[in-house]
Amino acid sequence: MSTTPASSGPDVPFGPEDTPWQKTFSGLRVVDGVPAVTPPSGDPRDTYMDIPEVPFAKVQIPPAGLNGQQYAEAEGLFRRYVDAQTRNFAGYQVTSDLDFQRLSHYLDRHLNNVGDPYESSSYTLNSKLLERAVLDYFASLWNAKWPHDGNDPETYWGYVLTMGSSEGNLYGLWNARDHLSGKLLLREREHTGHDPASVVYTQALRREGQSPHAYEPVAFFSQDTHYSLTKAVRVLGINTFHHIGSTRYPDENPLGPGTPWPTEVPSRDGAIDVGRLAPLVRFFASKGYPILVSLNYGSTFKGAYDDVPTVARTVREICTEYGLDRRRVYHDRGTDSDFDERSGFWIHIDAALGAGYAPYLHMARDAGMVDEAPPVFDFRLPEVHSLTMSGHKWMGTPWACGIYMTRTGLQMTPPKSSEYIGATDTTFAGSRNGFSSLLLWDYLSRHSYDDLVRLAAECHQLAGYAHDRLLALQDKLGVDLWVARSPQALTVRFRRPGAEIVRKYSLSCETVHEDGERRTYVHLYAVPHLRRELVDELVRDMRQPGAFPDAGTGPGWAGAVDSLAAPSRTEAVARH
Ligand SMILES: *Cc1c(COP(=O)(O)O)cnc(C)c1O
């Protein structure tokens, strides 16, 4: 028998009182004194990354649970940590001062919006009524035809996501893939009389004279695209232009014959470079591949807006040249009349952040409150096929949620009908979070367009203020902090400061190769909870000597020491 060291196995100190793990059981009688559970094989406290403010021992869950006092201490430590980080949260595009206490009643209610939002189901404990109101609100804001009508292909269809825009991107690309690879659409199911249970998910028939690639979509997105897109194409088995280009046409990169294919479409200052996207799209369209383009509207790191109207027009014009604007898709039975007509391209808009405020910024511009606003991105553009937004980002919710929206006529057929839930299974998840629809409904009900227009204009101005302050700091210190703001972005990026500051403000990092050097940037996001006071505090922290350990010393540091003599920490950061 091997001896177990005290730091592993049943003797591992466990829980708030450092009790040996095997002594942490309650008085429950256990057969032979050995409960049928697995003891730790090592000390978790040595294994996990710790938060200094909350020792892991305090929150470990012994088999007997925590007593009242232990619970209060653990929860108190965790609460102080969360509240401190909430106060200084500046590095992500997530609004963090929330106001939903009035909905606490529903924490003790189960709300599950399983299945299609427009079909009531036998699962009556849902908030689909509110979900439909929320979807109509956004359909109007994003200029889609509404209300949703299953018999009108021009009206919108959508649903409230259980994840954020990652799910919206996944679902949008899934819908795009099925559309472009010729699978039967939902609207065709009734017309053609196909038996939904057997043939709805089969592939289209390739006709004589059609390209061998006619049903093989190829995906395009820029180098500033969120990682969820890369995940989505992988999960869905969609090929990117890089993959097909470098495997089938290795020497034919249209951006430079003989040079390697770029992995993503190059961008300029965060926005997709339309001048480079066009030849890439043309290369594949000319060979008959259907075209799938995903655009960013408020890119993750730089907050940049792809020029959606220009890309939409460019892609449509190229596709028209090669017969991909409208094409016939023939189905299994092979009779000449058994086809539908649809586009051979799909444009998806990843507007995780931008769709939440840009419409109000457009209104602010039209009212003369701000000088400029980002380009149009919504269903006014006939080429826009699908759109997603995260609910927790601009608006702010206590957990991830979001909206997916498309046009009813583009809906794909769900793989399987689902009698069990009593509603068509047209969404990605099974059970869907019904509380999120309630949160979105609550927020929109309590904020008028006027409120939201003012808020968007304030954040836009605050981003400009932060940009000015950081440029001034850079001047003063005489050190290149790489301060930059993409046009009209809500974020300003700059050189990563030391670890203390990064942690205090939750600053996210991105390392890029720029101007021939490796640079690690962080950014500051002007979302509704950010205040000028917090920007000022960050700037003050960054004036301290040593704030940028890898930036060397500049002429400004000496003066910076003086300014620390009388720190004026602003405590009143809360808005209300
Ligand atoms: C945050 C973000 C996503 C992912 O959204 P989640 O809500 O985190 O799933 C997708 N795209 C962009 C541009 C984002 O900024």
Which tens digit of pLDDT belongs to each residue from 9-65? 788 999 999 999 888 887 665 656 667 788 899 999 988 988 889 999 999 999 889
According to DSSP, residue 298 is labeled S
| Pocket lining: 299 vs ligand 1, CB cutoff 6 Å | yes
Residue 193, pLDDT score: 55
| Pocket lining: 296 vs ligand 1, CB cutoff 6 Å | yes
For 256, phi and psi rounded to 5 degrees?
A: 170, 90
- Enter the tokens of residue 103: 């909905």
Output the CA 349–ligand 1 centroid distance in Å: 12
- Enter the tokens of residue 561: 């020491």
Residue 344 and residue 287: Cα distance in Å, rounded? 13
Q: Which residues pair with 231 in a beta bridge?
A: none
What average pLDDT does range 539-567 have in this prediction?
Answer: 68
Residue 27, pLDDT score: 67
- Alpha-helical (H) ranges within 160-273 are 165-180, 186-192, 196-199, 227-236, 241-248
pTM: 0.91
Residue 205, pLDDT score: 74
What average pLDDT does range 410-416 have in this prediction?
Answer: 84
Closest approach atom of ligand 1 to CA 166: 9
pLDDT of residue 333 exceeding 80: no
The answer to whether the beta carbons of residues 423 and 115 sit under 8 Å apart is: yes
Residue 567, pLDDT score: 36
Q: Where are the domains of the chain?
A: 9-87, 155-412, 450-575
**CATH code at 450-575:** 3.90.1150
User: Which residue, by CA, sits nearest to atom 8 of ligand 1?
Assistant: 164
Give the residue from 178, 175, 182 showing the smallest Cα distance to 207. 182
Output the CA 367–ligand 1 centroid distance in Å: 30
Among 350, 390, 493, which is best to mutate for testing ligand 1, by the most ligand atoms less than 8 A from CB? Answer: 390
Residue 151, pLDDT score: 93
What average pLDDT does range 256-266 have in this prediction?
Answer: 95
Residue 133 and residue 147: Cα distance in Å, rounded? 10
Residue 296 and residue 354: Cα distance in Å, rounded? 9
pLDDT in tens, 434-484: 999 999 999 999 999 999 999 999 999 999 999 999 999 999 999 999 999
Output the CA 227–ligand 1 centroid distance in Å: 8
What average pLDDT does range 483-501 have in this prediction?
Answer: 96
Output the CA 402–ligand 1 centroid distance in Å: 10
User: Which residue, by CA, sits nearest to atom 7 of ligand 1?
Assistant: 164
pLDDT in tens, 311-328: 999 999 999 999 999 999
Pairing state between β 384-390 and 402-407? antiparallel
Output the CA 228–ligand 1 centroid distance in Å: 7
| Pocket lining: 400 vs ligand 1, CB cutoff 6 Å | yes
Closest approach atom of ligand 1 to CA 169: 10
pLDDT in tens, 511-535: 988 778 899 999 999 999 899 999 9
The proportion of the chain whose per-residue pLDDT surpasses 90, expressed as a percent, equals 73
| Pocket lining: 188 vs ligand 1, CB cutoff 6 Å | no
Residue 90, pLDDT score: 86
Tell me the Ramachandran region of residue 288: left when phi exceeds 0, alpha when psi lies from -120 to 50, beta otherwise: left
| Pocket lining: 225 vs ligand 1, CB cutoff 6 Å | no
Residue 357 and residue 394: Cα distance in Å, rounded? 7
According to DSSP, residue 185 is labeled B
| Pocket lining: 96 vs ligand 1, CB cutoff 6 Å | no
504 vs 513, which has greater pLDDT? 504
Residue 206, pLDDT score: 76
- Reduce the DSSP state of residue 405 to 3 states and report it: strand
Describe the crossing of helices 274-285 and 241-248 by its angle, rounded to 10 degrees: 60
pLDDT of residue 116 exceeding 90: yes
Q: Each residue of 540-549: b (16+ CB within 10 Å) or e? A: bbbbbeebbe
Output the CA 181–ligand 1 centroid distance in Å: 26
pLDDT of residue 265 exceeding 50: yes
Query: 155-412: which CATH number, 3.60.10.10, 3.40.640.10, 1.20.1330.10, 3.90.950.20?
Result: 3.40.640.10
| Pocket lining: 164 vs ligand 1, CB cutoff 6 Å | yes
Residue 204, pLDDT score: 75
pLDDT in tens, 211-230: 999 999 999 999 999 999 99
Residue 318 and residue 570: Cα distance in Å, rounded? 55
Beta carbons within 10 angstroms of residue 85's beta carbon? 16
As a 3-state breakdown, the chain gives helix, strand, coil percent values, each rounded to 5, of 35, 15, 50
Residue 575, pLDDT score: 33
- In sequence order, the 6+-apart residues with CB closer than 8 A to the CB of 562 are none
Residue 11 and residue 9: Cα distance in Å, rounded? 6
